[in-house]
């Protein structure tokens, strides 16, 4: 099928040097991220089969042979919190509504991605619960049929604030799983770390997730030196009490303030040492492409996870793609280029063009994040704008 009405004639890079790092304007990708608008010739050169979904058998495959199965969709760059490792206090300006993908646009892009091998979607942000049309988005995505049978599994990562009120409708709409972030069991610490006094709201959200029966329920905490590294065991004990899996994440250089320092890292190894003082841990085999290495706690059945993205990267098994709230495809958390699907949508691109643009993004994916490389440059967007 040929493309109808696509006006793209040149490969364009936008957002170069247009905004200070951390500024969330349309050019919020910061000075070093390039926004790529593929030309018609480049889209056509991707090859036949992108229109019809015939690529599904092979999937969106990069030059290292990694097949992409997991799509993370950021619904907004706004948030109810201001976690120091993610957003500055004075974050913004945020994406205006007309630059944010609508539910229908997200559904179309996800359908195309599913046609080309994506088998699961995770909604994230920013804070996805801030999307007023979240229930509608979940319903749209959870009704997408997988080519292999069944429907698309839809999960969400959230800070939990307001989850207690919204979970029944989300579950009804087809939300299959939820991960909730909680970095501390201490309300005052929580206030300092997130710059908001909302600890009780997060606990209420986790309790609602526990009672919903959605399983596995996972809790995420970024391990931070001098902030919460003395209460990792308390977090595990709390997670077990909520029938949840606690996961500790190494902090990555994705804070909008660009204050990350390698020397400050609480490594996965250190996390395990600390937990071993209190619990008997035993590694679980069969990790697959999951970012978390899992350990049974005191013989199980509960487990704790360690996401050692910095010290033990799992990039070789990466099967993830990201769609930002403003319609940019990112092939990596640390990508310095984004493929501009939103402009293609506005230019009446065909499904085949959009699939080809996704494949171009995947083809450009690098081997890994390169955090330890001497020429590493932190992405201009904070984690809230990339979609964690």
Ligand X SMILES: Nc1nc2c(ncn2[C@@H]2O[C@H](COP(=O)(O)OP(=O)(O)OP(=O)(O)O)[C@@H](O)[C@H]2O)c(=O)[nH]1
Rule CB under 6 A: which residues touch ligand SAM? 79, 85-86, 124-125, 127, 157-159, 181, 220, 222, 249, 251-252, 254-255, 383-384, 388
Selection from ligand SAM, ligand X, ligand SF4, none that 341 binds (CB < 5 to 8 A by kind) is none
User: Minimal distance in Å, beta carbon 222 to ligand SAM?
Assistant: 5
Interface mask toward ligand X for 208-237; x: CB under 6 A: ----------x-x-----------------
Selection from ligand SF4, ligand X, ligand SAM, none that 87 binds (CB < 5 to 8 A by kind) is ligand SF4
Selection from ligand X, ligand SAM, ligand SF4, none that 255 binds (CB < 5 to 8 A by kind) is ligand SAM
Selection from ligand X, ligand SAM, ligand SF4, none that 51 binds (CB < 5 to 8 A by kind) is none
What does the alpha-carbon distance between residue 192 and residue 197 come to, in Å, rounded to a whole number? 8
User: Under the rule (CB under 6 A), what is the footprint of ligand SF4?
Assistant: 79, 81-83, 86-87, 125-127, 159, 181, 313-315, 318, 320, 332-334, 368-369, 383-384
| From candidates 193, 333, 354, 358, binder to ligand X by CB under 6 A | 333
User: Minimal distance in Å, beta carbon 98 to ligand X?
Assistant: 27
214/383 with CB nearer ligand SAM:
383
| From candidates 249, 293, 306, 349, binder to ligand X by CB under 6 A | 249
| From candidates 179, 228, 331, 350, binder to ligand X by CB under 6 A | 179
User: Minimal distance in Å, beta carbon 74 to ligand SAM?
Assistant: 8
User: Minimal distance in Å, beta carbon 293 to ligand X?
Assistant: 11
236/386 with CB nearer ligand SF4:
386
Contact of 256 with 283, CB cutoff 8 Å = no
Give Cβ neighbours of residue 59 (< 8 Å, ≥ 6 apart): 67, 68, 69, 116, 117
Interface mask toward ligand X for 105-134; x: CB under 6 A: -----------------x-x----------
103/313 with CB nearer ligand SF4:
313
Binding footprint of ligand X on the chain (CB under 6 A): 122, 124, 157, 179, 218, 220, 249, 290-292, 307, 309, 318, 320, 333, 388
């Amino acid at each position: 099928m040929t493309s109808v009405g696509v006006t793209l004639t040149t490969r364009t890079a936008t957002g170069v040097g247009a905004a200070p790092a951390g500024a969330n304007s349309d050019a919020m990708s910061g000075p070093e991220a390039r926004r790529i608008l593929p030309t018609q010739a480049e889209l056509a050169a991707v090859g036949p089969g992108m229109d019809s979904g015939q690529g599904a058998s092979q999937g969106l495959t990069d030059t290292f042979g990694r097949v992409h199965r997991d799509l993370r969709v950021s619904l907004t760059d706004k948030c109810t919190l201001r976690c120091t490792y993610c957003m500055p206090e004075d974050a913004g300006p945020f994406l205006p509504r007309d630059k944010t993908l609508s539910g229908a646009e997200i559904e179309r892009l996800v359908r195309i991605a599913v046609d080309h091998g994506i088998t699961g979607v995770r909604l994230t942000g920013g804070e996805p619960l801030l999307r007023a049309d979240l229930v509608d988005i979940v319903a749209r995505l959870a009704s997408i049929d997988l080519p292999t049978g069944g429907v698309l599994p839809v999960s969400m990562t959230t800070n939990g604030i307001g989850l207690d009120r919204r979970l029944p409708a989300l579950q009804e709409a087809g939300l299959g799983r939820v991960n909730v972030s909680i970095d501390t069991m201490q309300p005052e610490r929580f206030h300092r770390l997130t710059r908001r006094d909302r600890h009780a709201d997060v606990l209420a959200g986790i309790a609602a997730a526990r009672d919903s029966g959605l399983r596995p329920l996972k809790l995420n905490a970024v391990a931070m030196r001098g902030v919460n590294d003395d209460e990792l065991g308390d977090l595990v004990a709390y997670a077990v009490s909520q029938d949840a899996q606690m996961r500790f994440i190494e902090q990555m250089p994705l804070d909008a303030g660009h204050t990350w320092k390698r020397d400050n890292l609480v490594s996965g190894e250190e996390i395990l040492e600390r937990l071993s003082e209190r619990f008997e841990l035993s590694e679980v085999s069969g990790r697959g492409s999951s970012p978390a290495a899992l350990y049974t706690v005191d013989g199980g059945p509960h487990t704790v996870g360690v996401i050692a993205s910095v010290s033990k990267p799992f990039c070789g098994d990466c099967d993830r793609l990201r769609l930002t709230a403003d319609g940019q495809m990112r092939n990596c958390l640390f990508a310095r280029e984004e493929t501009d699907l939103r402009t293609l949508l506005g230019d009446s691109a065909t499904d085949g063009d959009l699939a080809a643009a996704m494949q171009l993004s995947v083809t450009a994916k690098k081997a890994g994040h390169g955090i330890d490389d001497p020429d590493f440059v932190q992405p201009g967007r904070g984690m809230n704008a990339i979609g964690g």
